[in-house]
Amino acid sequence: MRYLSILLTAIWLVTGGTAFAATPIVGADDIVAAQARGALLWDVRADRDYQQGHIPGAVNLDDVLVRLRDPRTDDYLPQPRIERILGEAGIDPKREIVLYGAKASTSPYFALIMLQWLGSDRASVFHGGIDDWKQAGKPLQTEPTRLPPMSLQLRARSERVVSTGDMLKRLNNPGVQIVDARTAKEFSGEDIRALRGGHIPGAINIPYESNWVDPETPRKLQRNQTTSKAGFDLKPDEELRALYAGLDPDKETVVYCQSGQRASQTAAVLQKLGFSNVKVYDASWQGYGNQLDAPAESVSYFNVARVNNLLNVLQTRVEELESQVAELKGGKKPVTQ
């Protein structure tokens, strides 16, 4: 069934259909070929990082997560504002576009899903990003690339993303499968990041880090247990298919996380595996968890008294440390208790 789905997707693309790009995730060697075809490279990192060195010819409009999201809700900006921002940068979703950031970053995947929502069928992500490009000894450019501005009037495809209302309509629908790309603790309600913790009823928890060769890579880097980012590589396709073996590639699949970023990476992986109807719930748990009448499982709430006690303990400790620092500056030996 999975291989049939992949074949049908390929045929749909060849015959001019509107399915997702055949290769939504590409490697370093694909970049040169894409540029030779006239593809646009979009560096989605912050401007300061872009200026320190980027893939030659890549454009930038600063951190995509800052420029294209509402800071209050983390949802997409209104479509007219996105059209204006992209138009001013010369980024036309109708072109073939390759997005990249830091290796395994969710930012280019967020931009990928946004472009698909705005009508793009030829956008892809260079998963290894600037890290793999440098690792391969490829050239860098520090001068910014500027494209002529344009006026955009895009036709959004509502079927690419779902709202909270759409999500509620899909509950208990046997034709819809829901993937929660958050951590196990977020899913269980132990880690609360909205007015309440928990998960959407019927959701299957597959953390997005599970797509990587070594999901522990961020922690190993932080603890100086490794200096290599090779663990951020995506698993081979056969291992990814095993990871998502409990899902039907022909069913509608809705992916969510906390604010849509991690879900976007998982959605792209599923597209790569041949899932033909993948959607992202952009508001994700931040929107769903804050709507208290929305049905949820493993529900938990903040223990306000416990949080206040912890804050009081921290405040006391800060005051003790400030006192010790003041005594050291005055040449006195701090009092130990």
User: Of 97, 121, 156, which closes a domain?
Assistant: 156
Is there a domain that residue 6 lies in?
no
The verdict on 143 and 218 lying in the same domain is no
Is there a domain that residue 287 lies in?
yes
Q: How many domains would you assign to the chain? A: 3
Name all contacts of 85-89 with Cβ < 8 Å and 24+ positions apart.
85/61, 86/61, 86/152, 87/149, 87/150, 87/151, 87/152, 88/61, 88/149, 89/59, 89/60, 89/61, 89/147, 89/149
The verdict on 287 and 318 lying in the same domain is no
User: Of 156, 184, 215, which closes a domain?
Assistant: 156
Query: What CATH number did the domain enclosing 199 receive?
Result: 3.40.250.10
Is there a domain that residue 262 lies in?
yes
User: Of 140, 156, 172, which closes a domain?
Assistant: 156
The verdict on 110 and 212 lying in the same domain is no
The verdict on 231 and 331 lying in the same domain is no
Instruction: Answer yes or no: pTM beyond 0.95.
Output: no
Domain that holds residue 36: 14-156
Q: What is the pLDDT of residues 285-331, one digit of tens each?
A: 999 999 999 999 999 997 665 666 667 878 888 888 888 888 788 76
The verdict on 252 and 287 lying in the same domain is yes
The verdict on 164 and 152 lying in the same domain is no
The verdict on 220 and 282 lying in the same domain is yes
The verdict on 140 and 212 lying in the same domain is no
Is there a domain that residue 230 lies in?
yes
Mean pLDDT, the chain, rounded, equals: 90
pLDDT of res. 302: 75
The verdict on 66 and 90 lying in the same domain is yes
The verdict on 211 and 102 lying in the same domain is no
Q: What is the pLDDT of residues 2-44, one digit of tens each?
A: 443 444 344 333 333 334 455 899 999 999 999 999 999 999 9
